[in-house]
Amino acid sequence: MSFINKFQSNELLQQEVGILRQRIAELEAQNQPSAAAAYADFLFENSGESILIIDPYTMKILEANPNAARRLGYRRAELCDLALDQVEMPRSLNDDDAESAWQSSVSGTFFYESAYRHNNGTLIPVEVSSRLVFWQGRDVLINFVRDISWRKETETALRLVNNSLEEQLRQHAADLAAEKEKLEAVLGSIAEGVAMADANKKIVYVNTAFSSLTMYGLAEAQGRSFETMFDFAPRDLQAQTTAFAEGKVWSGEVVGLCQDGRTYPTVLTIVPILDEDGRITGYVTSHQDISRFKALDKAQYSFITNVSHQLRTPLTNIKLYTQLVEDGLSNGKAVHYLHVLSQQADRLEHLVQDILELASLDSTENVLDWRPVDLAEILRQVILSNQRRMQLAQQTLRYSLPEDLPIIKADPARLRQVFSELLDNAFAYTPAGTDITLEAALFEDGTRQWLKVEVQDKGPGIAPEDQAHVFDRFFRGHPAEQGNIVGTGLGLCIAQQITQAHHGHIAMESTPGQGTKFTVWLPVGLE
């Protein structure tokens, strides 16, 4: 803008000078030098510009018009006694001066910006056009000086506005960068896979969870269509078209396609992004792998099916023997029938108790009452509680409990439950007149110490095809079913979960016809 103002002011000045020259030439042509001089004097005295005539060799001011004297606060005589450098401030040859100074190739006039000092000491920004001419028999410099204070003030104001706008733009850019960083942090921390796409459903952004689910990185996913990332049924595509036409969200269960060829079930949600006119400008999707929930649903269905099956037998027996009791009151068999009813009620009670126990263990490990425990003492209590049973079954329990077993952190009631379940299992499958062995020992594997407790029976053993299912819920092998052995199929599962809650595990070894051995491993030094 300063260049335009400069150009316009210089153009007007050149026009005025040109008119003066033309008039002088006309007067000279008419041999009227006195009239030309008079006209030049008139312009000099009455010009709206400040005009200084300067000796180019001494740079002393030879003459000044009234406007120059008034603008600079001097009388004309005072101004003509001064050198130019007493009025005009020296200019530094920097880039700014180079941009504001130029010379006309036609007239030879030199234009530049400077500052003139007023008589009171204040500085006046000016624009100067200076030209060397021949005047009154000598070379002189004629300086036309224009006050450009208003233009400098305008430029300063514009510069301030420009700086303010630049600062606002920088701040806005910084705010956008911060928001982008915050958004990326949020999207990167959530567990759901999030993808953003353009109006053509071409992916432009995916978060870390999306890449983990699909194995596609951001660069690999960009530009891909949704249809290549998910397996949509025709009805899904039709439902999406209908929903998006109304600006609504679509959600449905589909199959996700991984880069390595794997698939996974997922619930996908697609949200259309609308502009002010209701047109779709893009899409945002979110989804997560629901394989675990599918497995839980399947496990829940299996659990309910097994529980129903287990409950059906005692309930059927209770109904049957209740009817037999009514019929047996006359034949004297009522006592036997009542005994069977009591057994079935006990079996039902045991089943319900085991189911509640499993639910408690599934919910959290905080059910454990951690405290220092003497494992040898726990085992003695379990052995004593089974003395009567061993006598009735004509079985012998041989045990070995070292006195120097270390104290461990555990829940004593839960550990008693584990070893009681293992002994119950051994008593149930071991024939009368045979032995059951229980041994405890300290074992070190090089990294830490373990307490191991082995329970060995001499029962029929477990078939190889059944061994992988021994700790499954409600599993009962062929010997249990054929031998009419009472049980719910939950005992070993409960024992395993309690042991795992103590950061240990149970191992099993079995040979058909030679019995089964269960080994409980418990870590020593667990805090």
Q: Which has the higher per-residue pLDDT, 85 or 4?
A: 85
Choosing from 271, 289, 307, the residue where a domain stops is 289
- The b-or-e profile of 5-30 (16+ CB within 10 A means b, else e) is ebeebbeebbeebeebeeebeebeee
Q: How many CB atoms lie within 10 A of CB 60?
A: 15
Flag whether pLDDT at 130 surpasses 80.
yes
**Mean pLDDT value across residues 348-374:** 64
Q: What is the CATH number of the domain that holds 134?
A: 3.30.450.20
Range of lowest pLDDT (58-67, 81-90, 457-466): 457-466
Residue 184 resides in a domain = no
Q: What are phi and psi of 48, to 5 degrees?
A: -75, -15
Residue 176 resides in a domain = no
Flag whether pLDDT at 189 surpasses 70.
no
Instruction: Identify the H or E element spanning 211.
Output: helix 208-214
Instruction: Identify the H or E element spanning 233.
Output: none
The predicted pLDDT at position 121 comes to 92
Using pLDDT thresholds of 50, 70 and 90, give the confidence band for residue 186.
Answer: low
Q: Are residues 389 and 424 in the same domain?
A: yes
**Mean pLDDT value across residues 196-216:** 87
Flag whether pLDDT at 60 surpasses 90.
yes
The predicted pLDDT at position 520 comes to 92
Q: Are residues 443 and 492 in the same domain?
A: yes
Q: What are phi and psi of 526, to 5 degrees?
A: -75, 125
The predicted pLDDT at position 55 comes to 92
Q: Are residues 304 and 392 in the same domain?
A: no
Q: Are residues 266 and 280 in the same domain?
A: yes
Among 25-34, 181-190, 390-399, 409-418, name the most confident range.
409-418
**Mean pLDDT value across residues 157-178:** 85
Using pLDDT thresholds of 50, 70 and 90, give the confidence band for residue 119.
Answer: very high
Residue 478 resides in a domain = yes
Q: Are residues 285 and 300 in the same domain?
A: no
Query: Distance between CA 463 and CA 473 in Å, rounded?
Result: 18
**Mean pLDDT value across residues 178-196:** 72
**Mean pLDDT value across residues 486-498:** 76
Flag whether pLDDT at 513 surpasses 90.
no
Flag whether pLDDT at 1 surpasses 80.
no
Query: Which sign, positive or negative, has the C-alpha torsion 464, 465, 467, 470?
Result: negative
Q: Which has the higher per-residue pLDDT, 354 or 205?
A: 205
Count Cα neighbours of 227 within 13 Å in the Cβ-side half-sphere.
7
Flag whether pLDDT at 93 surpasses 60.
no
The predicted pLDDT at position 75 comes to 92
**300 conformational bin, left if phi > 0, alpha if psi -120 to 50, beta if neither:** alpha
Q: Burial level of 416, CB count in 10 A (0-12/13-18/19+)?
A: middle
Flag whether pLDDT at 484 surpasses 70.
no
**Mean pLDDT value across residues 72-98:** 81
The predicted pLDDT at position 364 comes to 47
Q: What is the CATH number of the domain that holds 302?
A: 1.10.287.130
How high is the mean pLDDT of the chain? 79
Residue 359 resides in a domain = no
Q: Which residue has the tokens 């880069």?
A: 259
The predicted pLDDT at position 54 comes to 92
The predicted pLDDT at position 73 comes to 92
Instruction: Note the pTM of the prediction, 2 decimals.
Output: 0.40
Asked if residues 77 and 84 have their Cβ atoms less than 8 Å apart, the reply is: no
Range of lowest pLDDT (141-150, 185-194, 484-493): 484-493
Flag whether pLDDT at 28 surpasses 60.
no
Percent of the chain with pLDDT over 90: 14
Q: Are residues 388 and 318 in the same domain?
A: no
Structure tokens, 134: 């021949």
Count Cα neighbours of 429 within 13 Å in the Cβ-side half-sphere.
28
Structure tokens, 141: 């410099």
Percent of the chain with pLDDT over 70: 72
Sheet holding 515-523, edge to edge: 396-400, 435-444, 449-456, 515-523, 505-511
Asked if residues 519 and 506 have their Cβ atoms less than 8 Å apart, the reply is: yes
Structure tokens, 99: 């941009």
Ordered DSSP codes for 328-355: HTTTT-HHHHHHHHHHHHHHHHHHHHHH
Q: Are residues 283 and 300 in the same domain?
A: no
Range of the domain at 42: 2-147
Choosing from 323, 349, 375, the residue where a domain stops is 349
Range of lowest pLDDT (21-25, 171-175, 194-198, 422-426): 21-25
Q: Are residues 318 and 257 in the same domain?
A: no
User: Nearest CA to 288 among 201, 208, 399, 389?
Assistant: 208
When divided into structural domains, the chain yields a total of: 4
The predicted pLDDT at position 332 comes to 60
Using pLDDT thresholds of 50, 70 and 90, give the confidence band for residue 310.
Answer: low
Q: Are residues 371 and 511 in the same domain?
A: yes
Residue 171 resides in a domain = no
